[in-house]
Protein backbone atom coordinates (compact mmCIF):
# COMPACT_ATOMS: atom_id res chain seq x y z
CA UNK A 1 0.00 0.00 0.00
CA UNK A 2 2.73 2.46 0.95
CA UNK A 3 4.71 1.59 -2.17
CA UNK A 4 1.58 2.16 -4.27
CA UNK A 5 0.95 5.60 -2.72
CA UNK A 6 4.56 6.64 -3.27
CA UNK A 7 4.47 5.59 -6.90
CA UNK A 8 1.18 7.40 -7.46
CA UNK A 9 2.59 10.64 -6.04
CA UNK A 10 5.64 10.38 -8.31
CA UNK A 11 3.43 9.53 -11.25
CA UNK A 12 1.20 12.61 -10.72
CA UNK A 13 4.26 14.87 -10.70
CA UNK A 14 5.49 13.62 -14.09
CA UNK A 15 2.25 12.56 -15.74
CA UNK A 16 1.53 15.47 -18.12
CA UNK A 17 4.14 16.16 -20.81
CA UNK A 18 2.89 19.51 -22.09
CA UNK A 19 4.35 22.97 -21.50
CA UNK A 20 2.46 25.04 -18.94
CA UNK A 21 1.39 27.73 -21.40
CA UNK A 22 0.20 26.67 -24.82
CA UNK A 23 -1.31 28.78 -27.62
CA UNK A 24 -4.59 28.08 -29.29
CA UNK A 25 -4.15 25.69 -32.22
CA UNK A 26 -3.39 27.49 -35.48
CA UNK A 27 -4.90 25.37 -38.21
CA UNK A 28 -3.77 25.78 -41.81
CA UNK A 29 -6.25 26.61 -44.56
CA UNK A 30 -6.12 22.97 -45.64
CA UNK A 31 -6.91 21.80 -42.08
CA UNK A 32 -9.77 24.28 -41.71
CA UNK A 33 -11.27 23.11 -44.99
CA UNK A 34 -10.86 19.50 -43.89
CA UNK A 35 -12.69 20.09 -40.60
CA UNK A 36 -15.45 21.97 -42.35
CA UNK A 37 -15.96 19.07 -44.76
CA UNK A 38 -15.57 16.36 -42.11
CA UNK A 39 -18.98 15.81 -40.53
CA UNK A 40 -17.71 13.58 -37.69
CA UNK A 41 -14.61 11.76 -36.46
CA UNK A 42 -15.16 8.13 -35.47
CA UNK A 43 -13.28 6.83 -32.44
CA UNK A 44 -12.49 3.40 -30.98
CA UNK A 45 -11.40 2.97 -27.35
CA UNK A 46 -10.48 0.22 -24.94
CA UNK A 47 -13.95 -0.62 -23.56
CA UNK A 48 -12.67 -1.79 -20.15
CA UNK A 49 -9.57 0.14 -19.08
CA UNK A 50 -10.41 2.22 -16.05
CA UNK A 51 -9.57 4.77 -14.83
CA UNK A 52 -8.44 5.72 -18.34
CA UNK A 53 -11.58 4.77 -20.20
CA UNK A 54 -14.59 2.48 -20.43
CA UNK A 55 -17.84 2.03 -22.32
CA UNK A 56 -20.68 2.17 -19.80
CA UNK A 57 -24.32 2.33 -20.89
CA UNK A 58 -23.08 2.95 -24.45
CA UNK A 59 -21.15 6.05 -23.28
CA UNK A 60 -17.46 6.85 -23.11
CA UNK A 61 -16.33 7.54 -19.53
CA UNK A 62 -12.96 7.99 -17.79
CA UNK A 63 -9.89 10.20 -18.02
CA UNK A 64 -9.63 10.08 -21.82
CA UNK A 65 -13.28 11.12 -22.19
CA UNK A 66 -12.48 14.33 -20.31
CA UNK A 67 -9.41 14.91 -22.44
CA UNK A 68 -11.45 14.46 -25.61
CA UNK A 69 -13.98 17.00 -24.43
CA UNK A 70 -11.08 19.48 -24.54
CA UNK A 71 -9.82 18.24 -27.92
CA UNK A 72 -13.31 18.34 -29.42
CA UNK A 73 -13.69 22.01 -28.45
CA UNK A 74 -10.40 22.83 -30.14
CA UNK A 75 -11.29 21.18 -33.46
CA UNK A 76 -15.01 22.01 -33.28
CA UNK A 77 -15.97 18.71 -34.91
CA UNK A 78 -18.09 15.92 -33.34
CA UNK A 79 -16.11 12.86 -32.18
CA UNK A 80 -18.37 9.78 -32.30
CA UNK A 81 -17.73 6.63 -30.25
CA UNK A 82 -17.77 3.31 -32.14
CA UNK A 83 -18.72 0.67 -29.51
CA UNK A 84 -16.56 -2.46 -29.24
CA UNK A 85 -16.52 -5.37 -26.82
CA UNK A 86 -12.73 -5.68 -26.35
CA UNK A 87 -9.50 -3.86 -27.17
CA UNK A 88 -8.71 -6.57 -29.70
CA UNK A 89 -11.97 -5.78 -31.50
CA UNK A 90 -11.07 -2.07 -31.44
CA UNK A 91 -7.80 -2.94 -33.21
CA UNK A 92 -9.71 -4.98 -35.81
CA UNK A 93 -12.11 -2.06 -36.37
CA UNK A 94 -9.18 0.33 -36.85
CA UNK A 95 -7.59 -1.99 -39.41
CA UNK A 96 -10.93 -2.16 -41.25
CA UNK A 97 -11.19 1.69 -41.16
CA UNK A 98 -14.37 1.57 -39.10
CA UNK A 99 -12.87 4.17 -36.80
CA UNK A 100 -10.63 7.12 -37.62
CA UNK A 101 -8.77 7.25 -34.30
CA UNK A 102 -7.79 5.42 -31.14
CA UNK A 103 -8.42 7.59 -28.07
CA UNK A 104 -5.30 6.36 -26.25
CA UNK A 105 -2.63 4.09 -27.71
CA UNK A 106 1.10 3.61 -28.10
CA UNK A 107 3.04 3.16 -31.32
CA UNK A 108 4.41 -0.26 -32.33
CA UNK A 109 5.91 -1.39 -35.66
CA UNK A 110 2.86 -3.57 -36.34
CA UNK A 111 0.39 -0.76 -35.63
CA UNK A 112 2.25 1.62 -37.91
CA UNK A 113 0.93 -0.53 -40.73
CA UNK A 114 -2.50 1.05 -40.26
CA UNK A 115 -2.17 3.92 -37.75
CA UNK A 116 0.05 6.93 -37.12
CA UNK A 117 0.45 8.34 -33.62
CA UNK A 118 0.44 11.85 -32.18
CA UNK A 119 2.78 13.16 -29.53
CA UNK A 120 1.98 11.65 -26.08
CA UNK A 121 -0.55 13.33 -23.81
CA UNK A 122 -0.52 10.73 -21.00
CA UNK A 123 2.41 8.89 -19.40
CA UNK A 124 2.65 6.24 -16.67
CA UNK A 125 5.18 3.90 -15.07
CA UNK A 126 5.40 0.23 -16.13
CA UNK A 127 4.95 -1.88 -12.97
CA UNK A 128 4.59 -5.48 -11.86
CA UNK A 129 1.74 -6.70 -9.62
CA UNK A 130 2.25 -9.74 -7.36
CA UNK A 131 0.61 -11.44 -4.41
CA UNK A 132 0.96 -9.34 -1.27
CA UNK A 133 3.20 -11.98 0.35
CA UNK A 134 5.88 -11.67 -2.35
CA UNK A 135 8.93 -9.48 -1.58
CA UNK A 136 9.36 -6.05 -3.13
CA UNK A 137 11.56 -6.13 -6.23
CA UNK A 138 14.61 -3.91 -6.69
CA UNK A 139 14.90 -4.96 -10.33
CA UNK A 140 11.80 -6.61 -11.90
CA UNK A 141 13.88 -7.39 -15.00
CA UNK A 142 15.44 -10.26 -13.06
CA UNK A 143 12.03 -11.98 -13.16
CA UNK A 144 11.72 -12.08 -16.93
CA UNK A 145 11.93 -15.91 -16.92
CA UNK A 146 9.06 -16.15 -14.41
CA UNK A 147 5.53 -16.50 -15.88
CA UNK A 148 4.27 -12.91 -16.15
CA UNK A 149 0.84 -11.90 -17.43
CA UNK A 150 0.10 -9.00 -19.77
CA UNK A 151 -3.07 -7.92 -21.57
CA UNK A 152 -3.47 -9.25 -25.11
CA UNK A 153 -2.58 -6.87 -27.96
CA UNK A 154 -1.00 -4.28 -25.65
CA UNK A 155 1.90 -2.39 -27.23
CA UNK A 156 4.42 -3.33 -24.55
CA UNK A 157 4.20 -7.03 -25.46
CA UNK A 158 6.32 -6.43 -28.56
CA UNK A 159 8.70 -4.05 -26.78
CA UNK A 160 9.28 -6.40 -23.81
CA UNK A 161 9.78 -9.42 -26.08
CA UNK A 162 12.37 -7.48 -28.06
CA UNK A 163 14.20 -6.20 -24.98
CA UNK A 164 13.91 -9.46 -23.00
CA UNK A 165 13.85 -12.25 -25.62
CA UNK A 166 13.83 -14.96 -22.93
CA UNK A 167 10.80 -13.51 -21.16
CA UNK A 168 7.86 -15.78 -20.32
CA UNK A 169 4.89 -13.53 -21.12
CA UNK A 170 1.37 -14.96 -20.95
CA UNK A 171 -1.39 -12.96 -22.64
CA UNK A 172 -4.82 -12.46 -21.05
CA UNK A 173 -7.95 -10.99 -22.59
CA UNK A 174 -8.42 -8.52 -19.73
CA UNK A 175 -6.51 -7.13 -16.75
CA UNK A 176 -9.15 -8.69 -14.48
CA UNK A 177 -8.43 -12.17 -15.88
CA UNK A 178 -4.69 -11.69 -15.34
CA UNK A 179 -4.99 -10.39 -11.78
CA UNK A 180 -7.21 -13.34 -10.89
CA UNK A 181 -4.45 -15.65 -12.18
CA UNK A 182 -1.94 -13.81 -9.94
CA UNK A 183 -4.28 -14.06 -6.95
CA UNK A 184 -4.66 -17.84 -7.47
CA UNK A 185 -0.88 -18.28 -7.85
CA UNK A 186 -1.10 -19.49 -11.45
CA UNK A 187 1.43 -16.85 -12.59
CA UNK A 188 4.06 -14.96 -10.63
CA UNK A 189 2.97 -11.46 -11.55
CA UNK A 190 1.24 -9.16 -14.00
CA UNK A 191 2.76 -6.31 -16.03
CA UNK A 192 0.69 -3.16 -16.59
CA UNK A 193 0.80 0.58 -16.05
CA UNK A 194 0.77 2.13 -12.58
CA UNK A 195 -2.55 3.98 -12.80
CA UNK A 196 -4.66 1.08 -14.07
CA UNK A 197 -2.97 -1.35 -11.69
CA UNK A 198 -3.47 0.88 -8.67
CA UNK A 199 -7.12 1.41 -9.60
CA UNK A 200 -7.76 -2.35 -9.91
CA UNK A 201 -6.00 -3.22 -6.64
CA UNK A 202 -7.86 -0.52 -4.68
CA UNK A 203 -11.16 -1.63 -6.17
CA UNK A 204 -10.95 -5.42 -5.93
CA UNK A 205 -7.72 -6.73 -4.37
CA UNK A 206 -6.83 -4.80 -1.22
CA UNK A 207 -4.94 -7.14 1.11
CA UNK A 208 -4.36 -9.70 -1.68
CA UNK A 209 -2.24 -8.04 -4.39
CA UNK A 210 0.30 -5.23 -4.43
CA UNK A 211 2.58 -3.31 -6.78
CA UNK A 212 5.91 -4.95 -6.05
CA UNK A 213 8.24 -3.00 -8.33
CA UNK A 214 8.60 -0.96 -11.47
CA UNK A 215 10.54 -1.26 -14.72
CA UNK A 216 12.66 1.53 -16.21
CA UNK A 217 10.28 1.74 -19.17
CA UNK A 218 7.22 3.99 -19.31
CA UNK A 219 3.94 3.92 -21.19
CA UNK A 220 3.69 6.98 -23.45
CA UNK A 221 0.24 7.27 -25.01
CA UNK A 222 -1.00 9.55 -27.73
CA UNK A 223 -3.89 9.47 -30.18
CA UNK A 224 -3.77 6.83 -32.92
CA UNK A 225 -4.86 8.22 -36.30
CA UNK A 226 -5.51 6.14 -39.41
CA UNK A 227 -2.32 6.32 -41.47
CA UNK A 228 -4.04 7.36 -44.69
CA UNK A 229 -5.13 10.67 -43.12
CA UNK A 230 -2.11 12.86 -42.41
CA UNK A 231 -4.21 16.01 -42.17
CA UNK A 232 -6.17 14.59 -39.22
CA UNK A 233 -2.88 13.58 -37.56
CA UNK A 234 -1.60 17.16 -37.82
CA UNK A 235 -4.89 18.53 -36.44
CA UNK A 236 -4.75 16.35 -33.32
CA UNK A 237 -1.07 17.13 -32.71
CA UNK A 238 -1.96 20.81 -32.69
CA UNK A 239 -4.98 20.19 -30.43
CA UNK A 240 -2.81 18.31 -27.91
CA UNK A 241 -0.19 21.09 -27.90
CA UNK A 242 -2.83 23.75 -27.30
CA UNK A 243 -4.09 22.29 -24.01
CA UNK A 244 -2.52 23.91 -20.95
CA UNK A 245 -0.54 21.82 -18.51
CA UNK A 246 -2.91 22.88 -15.72
CA UNK A 247 -5.87 21.43 -17.62
CA UNK A 248 -4.15 18.06 -17.98
CA UNK A 249 -3.22 18.05 -14.28
CA UNK A 250 -6.76 18.95 -13.26
CA UNK A 251 -8.12 15.86 -15.02
CA UNK A 252 -5.41 13.61 -13.58
CA UNK A 253 -5.78 14.90 -10.03
CA UNK A 254 -9.55 14.60 -10.21
CA UNK A 255 -9.44 10.92 -11.12
CA UNK A 256 -6.64 10.03 -8.74
CA UNK A 257 -8.34 11.79 -5.84
CA UNK A 258 -11.76 10.34 -6.63
CA UNK A 259 -10.53 6.77 -6.94
CA UNK A 260 -7.78 6.70 -4.29
CA UNK A 261 -8.86 9.28 -1.73
CA UNK A 262 -12.62 8.99 -1.64
CA UNK A 263 -12.52 8.99 2.18
CA UNK A 264 -9.97 9.81 4.84
CA UNK A 265 -8.63 6.55 6.22
CA UNK A 266 -7.48 7.42 9.75
CA UNK A 267 -6.24 3.92 10.41
CA UNK A 268 -4.03 4.01 7.32
CA UNK A 269 -2.91 7.56 8.18
CA UNK A 270 -1.69 6.63 11.65
CA UNK A 271 -0.16 3.41 10.38
CA UNK A 272 1.72 5.38 7.75
CA UNK A 273 2.82 8.03 10.27
CA UNK A 274 4.10 5.35 12.65
CA UNK A 275 6.01 3.75 9.81
CA UNK A 276 7.52 7.10 8.78
CA UNK A 277 8.52 7.84 12.40
CA UNK A 278 10.25 4.49 12.61
CA UNK A 279 12.12 5.10 9.36
CA UNK A 280 13.13 8.60 10.50
CA UNK A 281 14.50 7.25 13.77
CA UNK A 282 16.36 4.51 11.97
CA UNK A 283 17.95 6.97 9.55
CA UNK A 284 18.98 9.27 12.39
CA UNK A 285 20.64 6.38 14.21
CA UNK A 286 22.49 5.25 11.09
CA UNK A 287 23.56 8.82 10.46
CA UNK A 288 25.04 9.03 13.95
CA UNK A 289 26.78 5.65 13.99
CA UNK A 290 27.99 5.35 10.40
CA UNK A 291 28.69 8.98 9.50
CA UNK A 292 26.11 8.68 6.76
CA UNK A 293 26.49 12.15 5.31
CA UNK A 294 30.11 11.51 4.42
CA UNK A 295 29.23 8.27 2.69
CA UNK A 296 26.36 9.87 0.79
CA UNK A 297 28.60 12.68 -0.45
CA UNK A 298 31.25 10.19 -1.51
CA UNK A 299 28.66 8.11 -3.35
CA UNK A 300 27.20 11.16 -5.08
CA UNK A 301 30.66 12.20 -6.17
CA UNK A 302 31.28 8.72 -7.56
CA UNK A 303 27.93 8.78 -9.38
CA UNK A 304 28.72 12.16 -10.90
CA UNK A 305 32.07 10.89 -12.11
CA UNK A 306 30.35 7.86 -13.63
CA UNK A 307 27.64 9.97 -15.27
CA UNK A 308 30.25 12.28 -16.79
CA UNK A 309 31.85 9.38 -18.70
CA UNK A 310 28.76 7.25 -19.41
CA UNK A 311 26.33 7.41 -22.33
CA UNK A 312 22.84 7.59 -20.79
CA UNK A 313 21.06 5.49 -23.45
CA UNK A 314 23.49 2.62 -23.94
CA UNK A 315 25.21 2.46 -20.55
CA UNK A 316 28.57 2.30 -22.38
CA UNK A 317 31.37 4.83 -22.00
CA UNK A 318 30.74 8.06 -23.94
CA UNK A 319 32.77 9.89 -26.61
CA UNK A 320 34.37 12.16 -24.02
CA UNK A 321 35.80 9.20 -22.13
CA UNK A 322 36.87 7.55 -25.39
CA UNK A 323 39.07 10.55 -26.22
CA UNK A 324 40.89 10.09 -22.89
CA UNK A 325 41.13 6.29 -22.81
CA UNK A 326 42.15 5.83 -26.46
CA UNK A 327 45.39 7.81 -26.00
CA UNK A 328 46.01 6.50 -22.47
CA UNK A 329 45.65 2.79 -23.30
CA UNK A 330 47.52 3.08 -26.61
CA UNK A 331 50.52 4.67 -24.88
CA UNK A 332 50.41 2.06 -22.11
CA UNK A 333 50.47 -0.76 -24.66
CA UNK A 334 53.29 0.96 -26.53
CA UNK A 335 55.38 1.19 -23.33
CA UNK A 336 54.80 -2.48 -22.43
CA UNK A 337 55.07 -3.61 -26.09
CA UNK A 338 51.94 -5.71 -25.73
CA UNK A 339 49.33 -6.11 -28.53
CA UNK A 340 46.70 -3.37 -28.75
CA UNK A 341 43.37 -3.98 -30.52
CA UNK A 342 41.03 -1.21 -31.68
CA UNK A 343 37.69 -1.73 -33.43
CA UNK A 344 35.03 0.57 -34.90
CA UNK A 345 31.45 -0.69 -35.39
CA UNK A 346 28.32 0.72 -37.08
CA UNK A 347 24.75 -0.60 -36.99
CA UNK A 348 23.85 -1.30 -40.62
CA UNK A 349 21.21 0.91 -42.27
CA UNK A 350 20.23 2.37 -38.93
CA UNK A 351 18.75 5.58 -40.32
CA UNK A 352 16.31 3.46 -42.33
CA UNK A 353 15.55 1.45 -39.18
CA UNK A 354 14.57 4.64 -37.33
CA UNK A 355 12.52 5.84 -40.31
CA UNK A 356 10.54 2.57 -40.43
CA UNK A 357 10.20 1.57 -36.77
CA UNK A 358 10.48 4.91 -34.96
CA UNK A 359 13.10 6.34 -32.61
CA UNK A 360 11.68 4.62 -29.50
CA UNK A 361 12.38 1.14 -30.93
CA UNK A 362 15.63 2.52 -32.36
CA UNK A 363 16.73 3.43 -28.83
CA UNK A 364 15.82 -0.07 -27.63
CA UNK A 365 17.87 -1.58 -30.47
CA UNK A 366 20.90 0.54 -29.48
CA UNK A 367 20.47 -0.59 -25.87
CA UNK A 368 20.36 -4.27 -26.86
CA UNK A 369 23.44 -3.98 -29.10
CA UNK A 370 25.22 -2.22 -26.23
CA UNK A 371 24.39 -5.12 -23.89
CA UNK A 372 26.17 -7.49 -26.31
CA UNK A 373 29.23 -5.23 -26.48
CA UNK A 374 29.35 -4.98 -22.68
CA UNK A 375 29.21 -8.78 -22.45
CA UNK A 376 32.29 -9.06 -24.67
CA UNK A 377 34.33 -6.41 -22.79
CA UNK A 378 34.16 -7.64 -19.21
CA UNK A 379 37.89 -8.14 -18.62
CA UNK A 380 40.21 -5.56 -17.10
CA UNK A 381 41.67 -3.48 -19.92
CA UNK A 382 38.65 -3.98 -22.22
CA UNK A 383 36.46 -1.00 -23.08
CA UNK A 384 33.23 -0.42 -25.04
CA UNK A 385 32.16 3.06 -26.13
CA UNK A 386 29.21 4.64 -27.90
CA UNK A 387 30.89 7.43 -29.87
CA UNK A 388 27.93 8.55 -32.01
CA UNK A 389 24.32 7.75 -32.87
CA UNK A 390 24.81 4.17 -34.12
CA UNK A 391 28.62 4.18 -33.90
CA UNK A 392 30.61 2.18 -31.35
CA UNK A 393 34.26 1.55 -30.53
CA UNK A 394 36.04 -1.27 -28.69
CA UNK A 395 39.51 -1.41 -27.13
CA UNK A 396 41.22 -4.63 -26.04
CA UNK A 397 44.64 -5.12 -24.45
CA UNK A 398 46.28 -8.52 -24.41
CA UNK A 399 48.52 -9.84 -21.64
CA UNK A 400 50.30 -13.13 -21.30
CA UNK A 401 47.57 -14.38 -18.96
CA UNK A 402 44.65 -13.36 -21.19
CA UNK A 403 43.34 -15.09 -24.27
CA UNK A 404 44.52 -13.73 -27.60
CA UNK A 405 42.11 -11.39 -29.39
CA UNK A 406 41.70 -12.13 -33.10
CA UNK A 407 39.17 -11.98 -35.92
CA UNK A 408 37.07 -14.77 -34.38
CA UNK A 409 36.33 -12.52 -31.37
CA UNK A 410 34.67 -9.91 -33.58
CA UNK A 411 32.83 -12.50 -35.65
CA UNK A 412 31.32 -13.81 -32.41
CA UNK A 413 30.20 -10.28 -31.48
CA UNK A 414 28.47 -9.82 -34.85
CA UNK A 415 26.79 -13.22 -34.55
CA UNK A 416 25.52 -12.47 -31.03
CA UNK A 417 23.97 -9.23 -32.33
CA UNK A 418 22.32 -11.11 -35.18
CA UNK A 419 21.07 -13.67 -32.64
CA UNK A 420 19.01 -10.89 -31.01
CA UNK A 421 16.63 -11.47 -33.96
CA UNK A 422 15.69 -7.79 -34.21
CA UNK A 423 13.62 -7.39 -37.37
CA UNK A 424 14.97 -4.91 -39.96
CA UNK A 425 12.98 -5.46 -43.13
CA UNK A 426 15.15 -3.32 -45.45
CA UNK A 427 18.50 -4.70 -44.26
CA UNK A 428 19.18 -7.27 -46.96
CA UNK A 429 19.79 -10.13 -47.16
CA UNK A 430 19.23 -11.16 -43.51
CA UNK A 431 16.25 -8.83 -42.84
CA UNK A 432 17.63 -8.61 -39.28
CA UNK A 433 19.50 -5.85 -37.49
CA UNK A 434 23.24 -6.38 -38.10
CA UNK A 435 26.50 -4.54 -37.54
CA UNK A 436 29.67 -3.93 -39.54
CA UNK A 437 33.13 -3.88 -37.97
CA UNK A 438 36.60 -2.66 -38.83
CA UNK A 439 39.31 -3.94 -36.46
CA UNK A 440 43.07 -3.42 -36.18
CA UNK A 441 45.58 -5.30 -34.05
CA UNK A 442 48.95 -3.63 -33.46
CA UNK A 443 51.88 -5.98 -32.90
CA UNK A 444 54.61 -3.46 -33.66
CA UNK A 445 54.50 0.24 -32.78
CA UNK A 446 57.13 1.37 -35.28
CA UNK A 447 56.01 4.55 -37.10
CA UNK A 448 52.36 4.42 -35.96
CA UNK A 449 50.45 6.77 -33.68
CA UNK A 450 46.83 7.06 -32.53
CA UNK A 451 45.80 9.22 -35.50
CA UNK A 452 47.22 6.71 -37.97
CA UNK A 453 45.53 3.84 -36.08
CA UNK A 454 42.18 5.66 -36.17
CA UNK A 455 42.42 6.26 -39.93
CA UNK A 456 43.54 2.68 -40.60
CA UNK A 457 40.64 1.21 -38.59
CA UNK A 458 38.12 3.59 -40.17
CA UNK A 459 39.28 2.36 -43.58
CA UNK A 460 38.70 -1.23 -42.42
CA UNK A 461 35.15 -0.32 -41.40
CA UNK A 462 34.53 1.36 -44.75
CA UNK A 463 35.79 -1.78 -46.52
CA UNK A 464 33.41 -3.95 -44.45
CA UNK A 465 30.47 -1.81 -45.57
CA UNK A 466 31.60 -1.83 -49.20
CA UNK A 467 31.77 -5.62 -49.16
CA UNK A 468 28.10 -5.87 -48.17
CA UNK A 469 27.94 -5.07 -44.43
CA UNK A 470 27.33 -7.62 -41.62
CA UNK A 471 31.00 -8.55 -41.66
CA UNK A 472 34.42 -7.90 -40.08
CA UNK A 473 37.49 -6.55 -41.82
CA UNK A 474 40.34 -7.41 -39.43
CA UNK A 475 43.99 -6.56 -40.11
CA UNK A 476 47.20 -6.77 -38.13
CA UNK A 477 50.07 -4.27 -38.19
CA UNK A 478 53.33 -6.10 -37.64
Q: How buried is residue 67: exposed, middle or buried, by Cβ count under 10 Å (0-12/13-18/19+)?
A: buried
CA distance 120 to 237: 9
A 10 A CB-CB count for 312 gives 8
Catalytically active residues are 390
Cα distances (Å, whole numbers) of residue 472 to 428, 439, 457, 460: 17, 7, 11, 8
Cα distances (Å, whole numbers) of residue 100 to 26, 48, 171, 331: 22, 20, 27, 63
CA distance 162 to 469: 23
CA distance 236 to 222: 10
Residue 142 zone, left/alpha/beta (φ > 0; ψ -120 to 50; rest):
alpha
**φ and ψ of 70, to 5 deg:** -70, -45
CA distance 471 to 435: 7
The gap from C-alpha 17 to its chain's centroid, in whole angstroms, comes to: 16
Amino acid sequence: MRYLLSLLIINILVFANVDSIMPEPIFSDEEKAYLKEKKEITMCIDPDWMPFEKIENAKHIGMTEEHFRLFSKKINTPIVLIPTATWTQSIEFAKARKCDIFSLAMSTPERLGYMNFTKPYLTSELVIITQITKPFLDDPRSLTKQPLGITKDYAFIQILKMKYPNSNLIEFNTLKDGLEAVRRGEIFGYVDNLITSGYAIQKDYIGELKIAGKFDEQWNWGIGVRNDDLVLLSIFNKAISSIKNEQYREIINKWISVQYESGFDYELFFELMAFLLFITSLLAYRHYTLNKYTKILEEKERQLRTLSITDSLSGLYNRRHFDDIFFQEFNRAKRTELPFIYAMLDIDNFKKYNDIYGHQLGDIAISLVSDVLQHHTRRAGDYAFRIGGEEFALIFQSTQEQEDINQKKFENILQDIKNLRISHKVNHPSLLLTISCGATKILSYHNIDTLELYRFTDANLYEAKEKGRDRVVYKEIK
